[in-house]
Amino acid sequence: MQWSGWSLSLGRLAGIELRVHATFPLLFLWVGFIYWVQTGTLAGVAFGLAFIAVLFLCVVLHEYGHALTARRYGIGTRHITLLPIGGLAMLERMPKEPWQEIIVALMGPAVNVAIALGLALLLTLTGGWTPIDPEAPLMMPASFLQAVLIANIFLVVFNMIPAFPMDGGRVLRAALSLSMGRVGATALAARIGQTLALGFGVLGLFGNPFLILIAVFIWIGAASEASATEIETQLHRKPASRAMITDFRVLSPDSRLSRAVNLTLGGKQKDFPVMDGPRVVGVASHAAILRGLRDHGLEGRVGDIMSAPLTADSSDDLATLLEALQQTPEAQFVCILHRGELIGVIDMENITEYLRIQSALQDR
C-alpha cells in the first residue's frame, strides 16, 4: 500500500491500480452514524456498514466495466479511485470514435444491470423475495440481497441521467456527435445537462435536498466538459511550431551540475534539453537536478541524472502534444524537432499561454 497524493493505492487488479481516496472512510463513519440514529441498534449499524461495503464493491465492478471495455479499444486506465461519492476510472483518453465511446460508457451501468438480474434470479430460485413490511424500519429491509438489488437499479438510473459527468451524458454526447461535430455535440449535451441541473435544483428546493447536490455536481461537470472540448478544438490542427519556446538553453551530458545551477539561477528556465552534438539525448528536469545535487554535489554529471526525452515533430498538432504532456507529467516539456534537429520546446505553461492569447484575439 502506498500513498499518491490524497489517495492510497491498494494494489493492482486486472492490471489496473485500485486507489481509495483519503476521504473515503468518512462515508463509512457517516453511514454508521446515520444507521445508529435511525435504528439505535448495533445490528443496524452493522447492516449499514455491510450494505455500503457491498454497494461499493458493485461500484468497483462498474468502473472495471468501463476500464476493461476501453482496454479492448487499446485504451489503458491509469487508475480506478474510490471517492465517497462514487468511483472514477481514470482512462488515458476517451475513445474518439462515437460508437466506441457509447459502448465504453454503457458497459459500466451494464455491470449493475447484470448484478441486479443475477440477484433477481437468485431471489426467485431461493424464494428469497420479501414483501415490503411497512412496520420495519426503512433503513433496514428484511432482505439484504433485495436491498443490494434495489441499490444497483438506483445506480443504473442515476448513472444514465443524460448529463456530464454521468455515463448517460457521455452516451448523449457521443450519440449527438454521430450527426454533428464533436464540439457542437458537447456544447449541446452540456446545455441539456445544465437545463437538467436547473430542474433538479428546483425540485431539490421543494423536496429532497440531495437533488440540489446532484444539480451542482451536474452543472460543474457540464461546464468542465464543454471547456475541455473547447481547448481540444483550439489546439487541433495547430502545428507545434506555433506555440514553442525558441529562446532556451541546453546542457550536454558532460556538463557539470554547477552549469545547470548557473543557468537556473541566471534565467527563468528550470528544465533543460540535453544535447550530445546535434542530437537530443535526454532531459534534465528541475527535480532531477536537485536530486543530483543532493547525491553528487555541484561536480555531478548531467548525463547521470537525465531522463529520456519526449520528442515531437514541428508539424505535430498541439492537441497531441497536450495529451502527451498530460500522460507523462514528469516529462515537463516536449522537445520539438524539425528534420531531426531541435528547434524548440513546449511545456504546459506555454500551451496555456497560447490558449489565453487565442481567446483574447477571439474576443476582439
Query: Which residues are at the interface with Zn ion (CB under 5 A)?
Result: 108, 167
Q: Looking at beta carbons only, is 196 or 284 nearer to Zn ion?
A: 196
Give the Cα separation of 115 and 145 in Å (integer): 11
Give the Cα separation of 314 and 294 in Å (integer): 36
Q: At what angle do helices 24-39 and 42-72 cross, to 10 degrees?
A: 140
Q: Looking at beta carbons only, is 17 or 167 nearer to Zn ion?
A: 167
Q: Looking at beta carbons only, is 20 or 45 nearer to Zn ion?
A: 20
Which secondary-structure segment (H or E) carries 7? strand 7-13
In the bound complex, what is the minimum distance in angstroms from residue 259's beta carbon to Zn ion? Answer: 50
Tell me how crowded residue 226 is: count the other CB atoms within 10 A of its CB: 21
**Chain length of the chain:** 364
Q: Looking at beta carbons only, is 98 or 273 nearer to Zn ion?
A: 98
Q: Looking at beta carbons only, is 108 or 141 nearer to Zn ion?
A: 108
- The residue sitting closest to Zn ion, measured at its beta carbon, is 108
In the bound complex, what is the minimum distance in angstroms from residue 188's beta carbon to Zn ion? Answer: 21
Give the Cα separation of 58 and 340 in Å (integer): 50
In the bound complex, what is the minimum distance in angstroms from residue 63's beta carbon to Zn ion? Answer: 7
C-alpha distance across the termini of the chain, in Å: 53
Q: Residue 306 carries which DSSP code?
A: -
In the bound complex, what is the minimum distance in angstroms from residue 102's beta carbon to Zn ion? Answer: 13
Give the Cα separation of 106 and 310 in Å (integer): 35
Cis peptide bond N-terminal to 165, omega within 30: yes
In the bound complex, what is the minimum distance in angstroms from residue 283's beta carbon to Zn ion? Answer: 36
Give the Cα separation of 343 and 57 in Å (integer): 51
Q: Residue 309 carries which DSSP code?
A: P
In the bound complex, what is the minimum distance in angstroms from residue 166's beta carbon to Zn ion? Answer: 7
In the bound complex, what is the minimum distance in angstroms from residue 111's beta carbon to Zn ion? Answer: 9
Q: Looking at beta carbons only, is 108 or 292 nearer to Zn ion?
A: 108
Per DSSP bridges, beta strands 7-13 and 2-4 are: antiparallel
In the bound complex, what is the minimum distance in angstroms from residue 24's beta carbon to Zn ion? Answer: 17
Give the Cα separation of 343 and 245 in Å (integer): 9
Q: Looking at beta carbons only, is 87 or 300 nearer to Zn ion?
A: 87
Q: Looking at beta carbons only, is 167 or 271 nearer to Zn ion?
A: 167
Nearest CA to 264 out of 279, 286, 243, 244 is that of: 286
Q: Looking at beta carbons only, is 159 or 234 nearer to Zn ion?
A: 159
Give the Cα separation of 219 and 211 in Å (integer): 12
User: What radius of gyration do the chain's Cα atoms show?
Assistant: 26
In the bound complex, what is the minimum distance in angstroms from residue 193's beta carbon to Zn ion? Answer: 15
